[in-house]
Structure 1
């Protein structure tokens, strides 16, 4: 690790919680700003831009998915070229500009007079989505880097710092949810009562404050050296293995190619020992006669450590696919759950509760449970299991997937009751389904972030953190596809379908039951993949 001046980082001056407090502060501001736009976006699209329920839900899911897809590009840039700190600073600037653009879209009717309502709506949509996708690219540089940069501040070789690193992921999500609660309540309230121009302008100012927090503490950080593109290294192994498809691996795996420890390209690189599964990729490290006759071509001959990096990624992919479906369910909190709330009685006493604000129950559940999990459950479980984290990451994730199924079942039950009571159904009936999603986030989201970071090769920490975020993107894209497919399949022949603009004419409950059933199948698949993953690690 280095300090900001490029000198070896001193433990008593850098890293640890002294550095992570600023990083968590930046995370708080980023989440407050991003969620301040995301949580009520479906309302803006339907009430201000007059999009249909299906179009609005699809647009929100697609944009939200893009926000979780761009972190992969941000991770590659951070690990390969700029480093995490510089990537975050640039990304913050792009995000602020995008939020200002989104705010401008709401102000256009006040700034420009137009005789055509249709043309004004089109101009608003263009400026809004330009701003939203600028935000997506800003998020792409922040999401994977903030998390892994925070983990970099702790020395894995120091037992006390290693324990703090395990807690960091819990407090990272705790901070994220505290910001989300303020967004889902205060920010949504401003948007509903004081206008969208102000409601979308405040997030830009908040993100600028986050950038200031990040830069102000730059002298307390520990910086890691970039070592080239990790994805290039992975692609080299795949290409080399294919080119040597007909080459047999040696009986003695010690003959596989490896550079000496004093080689310049291996300095500071943690070697990974050879494992016995996924033997096909070992071909990339087999030394042939042509390899001995010419200088090493990295697209034909790779070191064992490179091969093992690819193996680690391949072993995680089936688990990743199952985790991705979890986020197909949680995506409903930003779309169909909000649309369900818009068809219910939003009055609670003398107050009118914005439907998007019900997401506060989701965040509050996570906020309450994280300290209990970190300070009570983990120490108690550690005494019984002997594990530093209390329970395995995969067990924690599996419990989260099961909780998501319960959330969909609760939403289906509420929808059945709402359809019978129509507008007299109180919006507070939605609270249990949001709370269950919050409990699932505590288990699955934190578990998968910790899992992907801890299992990642040393040179691919940011990329594997982005892999966890990419699961969220895949889930949101799949949600958009499922909503579109269900609408198309159920609305044929002049029928209103399951998710019409007037939910009283549809069957949203059937959609939620379908999601619960698919979640059960996904849980079974995850259990099988987890057993196979653990077995492969023991074999290795």
Structure 2
């Protein structure tokens, strides 16, 4: 097949790809992350100050921006896989992000592009004009489009450079690459929430927005410098993935009365014709009807292609739809861990009222406590890759130490423990605040160290490291090669869905807990509210989600038990799932 010929071309051309290309790719992603996350950290203050938005309006806009950036990842992955190719997707996405950052920087540089602050016009606040909002939203839109292309495609583009089936260490190299890619992302995020925020505080918005724009320019430049060395797998333009999935479902429904045969492979449609005759898997056998040739004269064109793709689909299309269906249950188990991470922003209100000194003359800003989470994430990935994998692989027999499914389960447990610990800590903090007479003053300093929040931040970092890497590896192996960018985007789209679910949960709890004139659990006065009750509710949901995760694992185990492996399936069972044919 075409992709196999491309892979053979890759293996026979040592001048392309390899480890030497990875620095260009990781630097591109790192600079993009520093620039993007550096802007997001204090963006709410910029909107409230220069666009005279309320906190609720500004938060809503930023929430939509974040959801759009993550949600576009799925569309960016599809366009990359079937139209642009991953190289052009990353290149165009980086340029789009750069354009957005330049426009945002111009809003800080040109007074006419933003509203006057209230203090400048004697506290009479005028809202932004339509033009000013259009410029602002266009900058956010360009950055969202860029993120939708870069984030799902960059990590898989790096895997393209390293994949070599003839190398017995290929799998180990890929696993190490995935780990170090995420470690570099963690370091980049640390720099974003510390260095960029410090520059914005010290030098103002003109410099604070200019530095991310310069870093994004360097990101684009670095990626283009490595262009001659890259392996550029061409997009599969002959068919559209989304349409193909719908065609498969429609064809299977139309042939719902067709008899299924488990032995006659000659009646199965394959395209191109020279591809190997492989039987479809036994999972969701009802979908196998879509690739059965009932009448060759009616169903096939003279060149062997399907005369009606809505009535006859290839085995590969059927397997792609099966892979997506099988991924959905495991994908849905990730929502709760992302909800926990998003809800953790309430910790900002808590740490603001506590002693944040590490040393007598060193105080951690309340908004920078997420550094502890990112630091734990980075340290864990490096520790697992260099220390635990060699030790665990001797006992588990798996080159990656623990299977992706096992690591995802560990991440869910760590996330639940983090939220439960947060509930305990908040109960203690609230009790001390009341005992010290601060019940009516949410800004009063409580005689309690904010360092009590470090363990839960660290646990959350470990949860994201184990679950995030494991989930990407799980989908990367489960999906066919043609859907590899979608494997990466599933993680990003999951964060978008979780943001929406988290917002609904917060609104529901706030409304239900304040009925009858009672003080809401999520009151702005956290000494009167009960954030600890809310954290206990999240802990309960996390426990239910873990039980659901175990049930989903049983589902995958039953699929493995009921199938026989074919020649296109990897013989080594490294995980609790099957590796699909790489088309």
Both proteins in one fold, TM over 0.5: yes
- Pick aligned residue for 2:514 from 491, 498, 519: 491
Task: After TM superposition, list the pairs within 5 Å mapping 1:306-345 onto structure 2.
Answer: 306-333=317-344, 335-345=345-355
Unaligned runs of 5+ in 1: none
Cα distance change, pair 57–325 in 1 and its aligned pair in 2 (3 A): farther
Q: Does 2:371 correspond to 1:363?
A: no
Cα distance change, pair 498–101 in 1 and its aligned pair in 2 (3 A): farther
Verify the 8 A CA contact 2:107 2:113 in the aligned structure 1. Answer: no
What's 2:94 paired with? 92
What's 2:280 paired with? 274
Cα distance in structure 2, aligned partners of 1:321 and 1:438: 20
Cα distance in structure 2, aligned partners of 1:427 and 1:2: 56
**1:111, distance to aligned residue in structure 2 (A):** 6.6
SS at match of 1:505: coil
SS at match of 1:159: coil
The one-character-per-residue Cα deviations of 1:318-366 (angstroms, maximum 9, x if unpaired) are 0000112211111234x32334333444455334532221111011111
Verify the 8 A CA contact 1:58 1:484 in the aligned structure 2. Answer: no
Cα distance in structure 2, aligned partners of 1:516 and 1:128: 38
Cα distance in structure 2, aligned partners of 1:398 and 1:436: 14
Cα distance in structure 2, aligned partners of 1:448 and 1:225: 26
What's 2:268 paired with? 257
Cα distance in structure 2, aligned partners of 1:402 and 1:142: 30
**1:235, distance to aligned residue in structure 2 (A):** 1.9
- Pick aligned residue for 1:76 from 69, 78, 86: 78
Verify the 8 A CA contact 1:2 1:222 in the aligned structure 2. Answer: no
Question: Counting helix residues as a fraction of each chain, which structure ranks higher?
Answer: 1
What's 2:572 paired with? none
What's 2:208 paired with? 199
Verify the 8 A CA contact 2:269 2:292 in the aligned structure 1. Answer: no
Q: Does 2:571 correspond to 1:530?
A: no
Verify the 8 A CA contact 2:11 2:164 in the aligned structure 1. Answer: no
Moved more, 480-489 or 127-136: 127-136
Task: After TM superposition, list the pairs within 5 Å mapping 1:177-326 onto structure 2.
Answer: 177-228=186-237, 229-250=240-261, 252=263, 254-259=265-270, 262-263=273-274, 266=275, 273-289=279-295, 292=298, 295=301, 296-326=307-337
SS at match of 1:451: helix
What's 2:140 paired with? 132
What's 1:24 paired with? 26
**1:520, distance to aligned residue in structure 2 (A):** 0.8
Cα distance in structure 2, aligned partners of 1:384 and 1:139: 40
Cα distance in structure 2, aligned partners of 1:496 and 1:387: 53
What's 2:37 paired with? 35
Verify the 8 A CA contact 1:271 1:305 in the aligned structure 2. Answer: no
Cα distance in structure 2, aligned partners of 1:237 and 1:243: 10
Cα distance in structure 1, aligned partners of 2:245 and 2:388: 38
The one-character-per-residue Cα deviations of 1:184-205 (angstroms, maximum 9, x if unpaired) are 1111222333323432332221
Cα distance change, pair 134–480 in 1 and its aligned pair in 2 (3 A): farther
**1:382, distance to aligned residue in structure 2 (A):** 0.9
Cα distance change, pair 332–122 in 1 and its aligned pair in 2 (3 A): farther
Verify the 8 A CA contact 1:69 1:140 in the aligned structure 2. Answer: yes
Cα distance change, pair 251–317 in 1 and its aligned pair in 2 (3 A): same
What's 2:489 paired with? 466
Task: After TM superposition, list the pairs within 5 Å mapping 1:351-500 onto structure 2.
Answer: 351-419=362-430, 420-421=432-433, 423-424=445-446, 425-500=448-523
Moved more, 304-313 or 292-301: 292-301
Verify the 8 A CA contact 1:324 1:471 in the aligned structure 2. Answer: yes
Verify the 8 A CA contact 1:57 1:480 in the aligned structure 2. Answer: no
Moved more, 235-244 or 72-81: 235-244
Cα distance in structure 2, aligned partners of 1:499 and 1:312: 41
Verify the 8 A CA contact 1:258 1:303 in the aligned structure 2. Answer: yes
Cα distance change, pair 414–45 in 1 and its aligned pair in 2 (3 A): farther
**1:53, distance to aligned residue in structure 2 (A):** 6.2
**1:107, distance to aligned residue in structure 2 (A):** 5.3
What's 2:67 paired with? 65
Verify the 8 A CA contact 1:2 1:224 in the aligned structure 2. Answer: no
Verify the 8 A CA contact 2:17 2:161 in the aligned structure 1. Answer: yes
| TM-score w.r.t. length of structure 1 | 0.90
Moved more, 337-346 or 73-82: 337-346
SS at match of 1:500: coil
Moved more, 272-281 or 451-460: 272-281
**1:209, distance to aligned residue in structure 2 (A):** 0.8
User: Which has the higher relative contact order, 1 or 2, with Cα contacts under 8 A spaced 6 or more apart?
Assistant: 1
Cα distance change, pair 127–528 in 1 and its aligned pair in 2 (3 A): same
**1:183, distance to aligned residue in structure 2 (A):** 1.0
**1:392, distance to aligned residue in structure 2 (A):** 1.0
Unaligned runs of 5+ in 2: 302-306, 434-443, 564-583
Cα distance change, pair 533–59 in 1 and its aligned pair in 2 (3 A): farther
Moved more, 40-49 or 181-190: 40-49
Cα distance change, pair 469–453 in 1 and its aligned pair in 2 (3 A): same
Q: Does 2:167 correspond to 1:161?
A: no
**1:446, distance to aligned residue in structure 2 (A):** 0.7
Cα distance in structure 1, aligned partners of 2:418 and 2:131: 38
| TM-score w.r.t. length of structure 2 | 0.84
